[in-house]
Amino acid sequence: MSNPAAPLPVAVLISGRGSNMLAIARACAAGHLRARVVSVIADRSDAAGIEAAASLGLPTRLLEARALSRAEFEAQLARTLESSGAQLVALAGFMRILSAAFVAAWAGRMLNIHPSLLPAYRGLDTHRRVLAAAEREHGASVHYVTEELDGGPLICQGRLSIAHAETKSSLAARVHRLEHRIYPMVIGLIATGRLILAAGTVLLDGRPLAAPLQVSEDGAAEHTDA
């Protein structure tokens, strides 16, 4: 994005615990990413992540969605993002569906993380559904946001093998650990200008990704060139 030498200003939108937001913020603070979190925005007052963000000294904003119409909420969100100077928006456990017009305004500049190996298991309650289906693999996906829910171009997947004695909570914890690695990694690639979305295609170092980048639990990251 714009100036690859300056830290990329990132806004993170949350509705809950905010552990992905914290992973991104900590990676920025540690200098692992050429990015900085300029705003953490929550759509509900009981989002625990908002206090965690404030305690890290990050600028926070609560836009209580229940008290607003969708149009009012999005107008305030647009103003908040604009005044923060954010050039990238990271949805991180943000449980609100944004309108097609809002998403279009941030096309190629808005990411989401979803707890499944998309396109499998879009929507909610993925860990329970994956276990019920006796899947052998699970994980998390980072993708660009389009108006199709959990359906935008895939960038990266963290992948794990499901253990015999796996429970919903053990699986959730393992997926979260993967998420905390892949989300900062993707933002880092965008911040250095290596990763972009061009005409609906994800380009890494100027070449289309043949498949999403893959990260495994044991630490390995790999990708296949087109």
What residues are labeled active site? 114
Is residue 115 within the footprint of ligand GRF (CB under 6 A)?
A: yes
Is residue 113 within the footprint of ligand GRF (CB under 6 A)?
A: yes
| Nearest distance in Å: CB 206, ligand GRF | 29
Q: Which of 13, 20, 87, 98 binds ligand GRF (CB under 6 A)?
A: 20
Q: Which of 12, 19, 146, 213 binds ligand GRF (CB under 6 A)?
A: 19
Q: Which is nearer to ligand GRF, 69 or 169 (CB)?
A: 169
Is residue 18 within the footprint of ligand GRF (CB under 6 A)?
A: yes
Stretch that binds ligand GRF, among 3-11, 14-22, 63-71, 211-219 (CB under 6 A): 14-22
Which token pair is 12? 């993170």
Is residue 16 within the footprint of ligand GRF (CB under 6 A)?
A: yes
Is residue 157 within the footprint of ligand GRF (CB under 6 A)?
A: no
Is residue 129 within the footprint of ligand GRF (CB under 6 A)?
A: no
Residues within window 48-67 making contact with ligand GRF, judged by CB under 6 A? 49
Which residues in this chain contact ligand GRF in the complex, by CB under 6 A?
14, 16-20, 49, 92-93, 113-115, 140, 176, 179
